[in-house]
Amino acid sequence: MTTGTPSPAAAYDDQNVFARILRGEIPCRKVHEDEFALAFHDINPQTPVHVLVIPKGRWVSFADFAAGASAQEMAGFWRAVGLVARQLGLDGPGYRLLSNVGADGGQEVPHFHVHLFGGRRIGRMVPKAPEAG
Ligand code: AMP
């Protein structure tokens, strides 16, 4: 299965688009790569800077990564996220990190990824639902 909303507990799909990018089967606009992470520009940017950072390991979502990744993988991944933000010049003006998890989170690609948004004032965290008051 390559589409649909993944469950955080779903089995890893080796045909998901980010797995294919990691294997070099489809191109990406790479901004950083190291042992633990790959960062590339989102194909449909929502802000002037919109970069995705993904771990090299086969993790469906943040929930999967948090439950199963080694301390070394976690440290390496999050250090790469910080490095990419700094390299993109976002430390001064600021930025937003976001990771969608599963159906309620709106996750579309079932490989854990962090969105890095910057380059403009992003505004409130989450659209306010009418029922939230
Ligand atoms: P999410 O809803 O958090 O799973 O976000 C998936 C993101 O992946 C979306 O922002 C898409 O625009 C982005 N995306 C999908 N395919 C590609 C691709 N081939 N290269 C870069 N970004 C992609």
Phi first, then psi, for residue 131 (nearest 5°) are -75, -10
Mutate to test the pocket of ligand 1, among 41, 52, 114 (most ligand atoms within 8 A of CB): 52
Mutate to test the pocket of ligand 1, among 108, 114, 117 (most ligand atoms within 8 A of CB): 108
- Give every strand in the sheet of 37-41, ordered side by side: 30-33, 37-41, 49-55, 114-118, 96-98
Tell me the C-alpha distance between 39 and 34, whole Å.
Answer: 9
Binding site membership of 42 for ligand 1 (Cβ less than 6 Å):
yes
Give pLDDT, residue 129: 77
pLDDT value at 31 more than 80: yes
Give pLDDT, residue 133: 55
Give pLDDT, residue 124: 86
Give pLDDT, residue 132: 65
Binding site membership of 27 for ligand 1 (Cβ less than 6 Å):
no
Arithmetic mean of pLDDT, 64-91: 98
Cβ atoms of residues 117 and 45 within 8 Å? no
pLDDT value at 35 more than 50: yes
- Nearest CA to 35 among 56, 5, 21, 59? 56
